[in-house]
Amino acid sequence: MSYLILVRHGQSVWNLENRFTGWVDVDLNENGRNQAKKAGELIKQKQINIDLYYSSFQLRAKNTMKIIQEKLDDFKDVQSAWQLNERHYGSLTGLNKDEMKQKLGEYKVHQFRRSWDLRPDPLDKSSSYHPLNIDTYKDIPIDKIADTESLKDTYERVIKYYSDEIENNLKNKNILISAHGNSIRALCKYLFNLDNNQISKLEIPTGNPLLIKFDNDNKILNCEYLETERAKDLLVY
């Protein structure tokens, strides 16, 4: 038996401002730091020894993990992977979601946010928001950095990394992943075998650990959000 804990980073500065963030490397705000502290406390209450820690490359996920580890008093190395990054929102990056609803219509913005294979227009490579111009990503091969992504694109990079680097460790280890709304949605689609319609409805709350229990054959036994008052419908279990 083993456990996988998925944590979407705590609320970020741009979450609060309701902006499309994607690969822009913004940090947590005060509420986000408090959410991460609460997440660490809830995980500690479960008395689960975490063997392996994984995070995206992005500051908001890394700092969420750092705060959780402080609460757990456990400072094992964290494996950071760009493949666990948030979806790249292309030309929508940095824009306010409500303003874009007024400009493009609510349905069109919903399509951009939740459709399976629709990509926003590419982000201009000269933009300061483009990952090519952000120091965090300077060591990622240029051919791996997209100008825009659909959820399908995000799913493919997240699940390849998960299958290659993480999944086999679940046979005998407990794992915690700190990542993002869309990278965790991708993992949930894979783990719970959700169809393309179901994944469009899946909401991932910030800073609320999703605890998934596996049997010895890597089959899911049950799952639960640890902060029940902020839990979202998992569409399964």
| Phi then psi dihedrals of residue 37, to 5 deg | -60, -45
Active site residue 9: yes
- Name which of 225, 188, 223, 193 is nearest 206 in CA terms: 225
List 86, 88, 130, 149, catalytic entry? 86
Query: Hey, CA dihedral for 93, 90, 234, 83, is it positive or negative?
Result: negative
Q: What angle do CA 143, 150, 57 make, to 5 degrees?
A: 55
Within a 13 Å sphere around the CA of 230, how many CA atoms are in the beta-carbon half?
A: 16
Active site residue 130: no
- Name which of 142, 197, 195, 14 is nearest 89 in CA terms: 14
d(CA 147, CA 130): 7
In sequence order, the 6+-apart residues with CB closer than 8 A to the CB of 161 are 81, 83, 84
List 9, 88, 130, 180, catalytic entry? 9
In the structure encoding, which two tokens stand for residue 182, read together? 């869309």
In the structure encoding, which two tokens stand for residue 185, read together? 């949605």
Strand 52-55 relative to strand 78-80, pairing? parallel
- Name which of 55, 54, 58 is nearest 22 in CA terms: 58
The set of catalytic residues is 9, 86
